[in-house]
Structure 1
Amino acid sequence: MASLTYSDTEGADPDTTRKEWAMRSLMIDVSPLRASPEFRLVFGARIVSLFGIALTTVGVPWQVYEMTRSSLAVSLAAAVVGVTTLVGTLAGGVIADRFDRRTVILASRGTAAVVFAVLAVNAAVPSPQLWVLYLCVAVNGGTAVSQSALMAVTPAIVPRDQLAAAGALVALSTQIGAVVGPSVAGLLIAGPGLTVNFGLCAVASAVTTTLLWFLPPLPPQGGTKAHPLAAIREGAAFVARNPVVRGVLLVDVAAMLFALPQVLFPQVVVEVLERGPEAAGLLYTAPAVGAMIAALTSGWTTTVRHTGRVLLVAVGLYGAAIGLFGLSPAMPGDPLVWALGFLAVAGASDMVSEILRRALLADVTPDHLQGRVSSVWLAQATVGPSAGGVEAGVASRLLGPGPAIAAGGAVCVVATAALATFLPPLRRASLHHDAGGADERSEAAPREAR
């Protein structure tokens, strides 16, 4: 779909052109899929890979909880994968700038296929071992080196004027896998069992590796020669001193640390909703459904004037929806229906905030720091959910799962309001710089690509 502005419709019937412009401004742009065979391979591989990963998103915490009856044990598994994913992400940014990115991606995804096969074998034996689960999630976290390489690949296979559209499609691919995977996982766990669930994860990773095998060699162009620690420090220093980048990351942390209750889903299903694994799959799926709807109707985000304000509202709405999810048992009627509805709203709000966060980070970051700033963002996006999972597990022990989730959502709303108050540059940030965003990007200017 080619981009369309309202001026393109001059001379036609005003009512018709307004409707057409409004509809097309909402539709997601698929031109990168038409223009780039390599991007089609990456897009297809991501959908298959994320479907497999989504199966583990339900399978691993369900098996840990089934073996231990402890949400704290589930949160510790999340912490393990968070630490190794952090290491893999930071290392991946450097590795992807020094070696052929196709090779890095293939090695990483091939390793993931082996890890999922081991999980399947562990689930099949009469006495599954908890330490094997923790070891597998730790190694799988290390395969996050492919994330930085995949992010670096996109500019090499997509025309420059289609990078924004490619980013929206990448976000959509994430949600497609997240919508289908958890629901299928719930059915698999309730039916044939965890062995089949993890076996399909291994098959999905093998298919992903096969698809990406057909990519051409993708060596880095002008890769950094600085010491890895020095390169990481430079990116972190920019993040610390730029108020918009700092604010974007802080508001993201506020949501992840206080309002990320996924590790409590098994406990909520068993103790609060009194349902089975099918309901757990639905809880994991609901945010992805809301997020996918938001992604498919995301055209308006490119024209919104007050980007920072809308971002803050989206994060605040996310926290409120999570808080209400925690109060679902007190709602009239079926609490599962309320829970799924609030989680869908949370997922949609989170997708809007992600689109705007990506756009603001790209807008205010100089070209030579784009990769490292992205690496810092990926790193905090890894640490945040793990820390949030531990916080949720501890809070659940003190308050119970429902009150812990409700309190976390409320804290997220308060923290977001505080950031809006004490970080005016974030509140004033805009992708349309005549709307007040010019001052916030002065540190990043000049940029040759503008």
Structure 2
Amino acid sequence: MSRARRLSRHLTDVGPLRESRDFRRMWFGQSVSQLGQQMTAVTVAYQVYILTRSSFAVGLVGLFSLLPLVIAGLYGGALVDAFDRRKVALVTALGLWACSGVLVLQAMLELESVALLYVVVALQSALFAVNNPARQAILPRLLSKESLPAANALTMASFNLGFTVGPLLGGLIIGWRGVQAAYIFDAVTFTAAVYSLLRLPSIPPPGGSRRAPGLKSVAEGLRFLARAPNLRMTFILDLCAMVLAQPRALFPALALTVYAGNASTLGLLQAAPAIGSLLAFLVSGWISRVHRHGIAIAVAVVVYGASVAAAGFSAIGLPGMLWLGVTFLALSGSADMVSAAYRSTMLQSAAPDELRGRLQGVFVVVVAGGPRLGDFLAGSLAALTSEETAMVIGGFACILGVGLSMARNRKFAAYDSRRPMP
């Protein structure tokens, strides 16, 4: 094998973009819109901190969005399984677009209402909890099963491109033109996501159109999950990382006090995990060749927890070395990208299509709800100790959680993607 060919085996697999024009269009639209959405995320955190000067208040952003996300995620997954998945994704995308407009208006009118920000974030969370399962349930209809690991790596790269450039650009725009300009950018770029969904073909549910689902439909998905130990473990391990070791609510205080920086410093801290994820994505060609997804997820989550703890230690011992904390946070993002790619692939390949929307709903509750609960936990712990100490405790708690979970379900380490079993 030539040196060039060996190198290409480790580089990003872009095959899914060539395989499906619809996936390519949806991926591009999501990539563009993510820039604005992540600018809004850092802008809301910044605006709340400026109005309150409290990491606890920033942590409450996550708490206020948690309950709507859980309710909408569980019921929204049932909607995805009952109706045309393209229509569900489009309607919720339009709702998210309207929320972006409300943020623009409150900034233009200088309302300075933390309560209004909490309400908008809660609405965004509910809409996202339906929109994301719809998008994810669409992918297996557009691509072959063999392409799913690479497609999920590309999807993670799309999100993390937004997580990288969005906060950095958001910090610059806030410093240059204020929060209003950042919110306007989000409203404009979100048109790309709406357009990509408009161009998708109809994607009806398996078995044709159904009536609006009730609680029985939601319970059916939860009962299946109760009988699916491998899928359940992917959720548990992600909660170990995102609830116990989620540091983002601490970033405003770290940027403005520990590192004595400004909005640009906050943008860099927010972007650091996504930078690491993108770097890992650039050499992600090997991901499709790994079949022991269970052990790969466990190792990735342990690396994530260790990296967050190391970032906390660096802030305690070397607060003048911002680059060191950023490096450890980037490493945490690399580990999270690997974990997410395999967790998404396991869910898409091991779950039956008629339940895929409901299980994707549970997935988004865990993946998006976990960090929100983690925001509240980190903010509360920081109020009792300090931002740096909260990161260290969270990182070690994550590692302990993985160890205990794997000890209780040792078969998860033997999961083989060539014989997917839920």
Q: TM-score range by the shorter chain?
A: over 0.9
- Contact 2:36–2:190 (CA<8 Å) still a contact in 1? yes
Residue identity opposite 1:249 in structure 2: F
Query: Corresponding residue for 1:402?
Result: 388
- Counterpart CA distance in 2 for 1:31 and 1:333 is 43
Pick aligned residue for 2:312 from 321, 326, 332: 326
- Counterpart CA distance in 2 for 1:81 and 1:33 is 33
Residue identity opposite 1:167 in structure 2: N
Q: CA deviation at 1:332?
A: 4.7
Query: Corresponding residue for 2:62?
Result: 78
Query: Corresponding residue for 2:413?
Result: 427
Query: Corresponding residue for 1:194?
Result: 179
Tell which deviates more after alignment, 118-127 or 42-51. 118-127
Residues 211-240 of structure 1, C-alpha deviation per residue, up to 9 Å, x if partnerless?
432333333342575843222222222222
Change (3 A) 1:312 1:165: closer
Pick aligned residue for 2:156 from 171, 193, 199: 171
SS in 1 for 2:363: helix
Query: Corresponding residue for 2:8?
Result: 24
Residue identity opposite 1:282 in structure 2: L
Change (3 A) 1:275 1:80: same
SS in 1 for 2:201: coil
Residues 39-80 of structure 1, C-alpha deviation per residue, up to 9 Å, x if partnerless?
222111101221111011100111011101111111111112
Query: Corresponding residue for 1:97?
Result: 81
- Contact 1:331–1:338 (CA<8 Å) still a contact in 2? no
Residue identity opposite 2:205 in structure 1: P
Query: Corresponding residue for 1:343?
Result: 329
- Counterpart CA distance in 2 for 1:153 and 1:311 is 24
- Counterpart CA distance in 1 for 2:18 and 2:371 is 35
Pick aligned residue for 2:403 from 417, 424, 428: 417
- Counterpart CA distance in 2 for 1:313 and 1:33 is 29
Question: Which 5+ residue runs of structure 1 have no aligned equivalent?
Answer: 1-13, 445-450
Q: CA deviation at 1:312?
A: 1.4
Change (3 A) 1:320 1:277: same
- Contact 2:149–2:342 (CA<8 Å) still a contact in 1? no
Query: Corresponding residue for 1:370?
Result: 356
- Counterpart CA distance in 1 for 2:41 and 2:132 is 17
Q: CA deviation at 1:280?
A: 0.4
- Contact 1:239–1:246 (CA<8 Å) still a contact in 2? yes
Residues 125-172 of structure 1, C-alpha deviation per residue, up to 9 Å, x if partnerless?
344222221121122122222212212222333345433332222122
Pick aligned residue for 1:153 from 138, 150, 153: 138
Residue identity opposite 2:190 in structure 1: S
Residue 358 (structure 2) pairs with residue 389 (structure 1): no
Any residues of structure 2 matched to 1:89-238 within 5 Å, and which?
A: 89-144=73-128, 145-223=130-208, 225=210, 227-238=213-224
Q: CA deviation at 1:367?
A: 4.4
- Contact 1:82–1:385 (CA<8 Å) still a contact in 2? no
Query: Corresponding residue for 1:5?
Result: none
Q: CA deviation at 1:27?
A: 2.3
- Counterpart CA distance in 2 for 1:198 and 1:251 is 34
Question: Which 5+ residue runs of structure 2 have no aligned equivalent?
Answer: none
- Contact 1:189–1:197 (CA<8 Å) still a contact in 2? yes
Pick aligned residue for 1:263 from 249, 256, 260: 249
- Counterpart CA distance in 2 for 1:223 and 1:72 is 47
Residue 300 (structure 2) pairs with residue 310 (structure 1): no
Query: Corresponding residue for 1:292?
Result: 278
SS in 1 for 2:204: coil
- Contact 1:255–1:319 (CA<8 Å) still a contact in 2? yes
Residue 346 (structure 2) pairs with residue 360 (structure 1): yes
Residue identity opposite 2:356 in structure 1: Q
SS in 2 for 1:259: coil
Q: CA deviation at 1:366?
A: 4.0
TM normalised by structure 2 equals 0.93
Q: CA deviation at 1:368?
A: 4.0
- The number of residues matched between the two structures is 420
- Counterpart CA distance in 2 for 1:61 and 1:213 is 31
Residues 254-281 of structure 1, C-alpha deviation per residue, up to 9 Å, x if partnerless?
1111100101110111121111010000
Q: Say which structure, 1 or 2, has more relative contact order (CA 8 Å, 6+ apart).
A: 2
Pick aligned residue for 1:274 from 260, 263, 266: 260
- Counterpart CA distance in 2 for 1:332 and 1:403 is 13
- Contact 1:113–1:203 (CA<8 Å) still a contact in 2? no
Q: CA deviation at 1:93?
A: 1.7
- Counterpart CA distance in 2 for 1:151 and 1:307 is 19
Q: CA deviation at 1:329?
A: 2.5
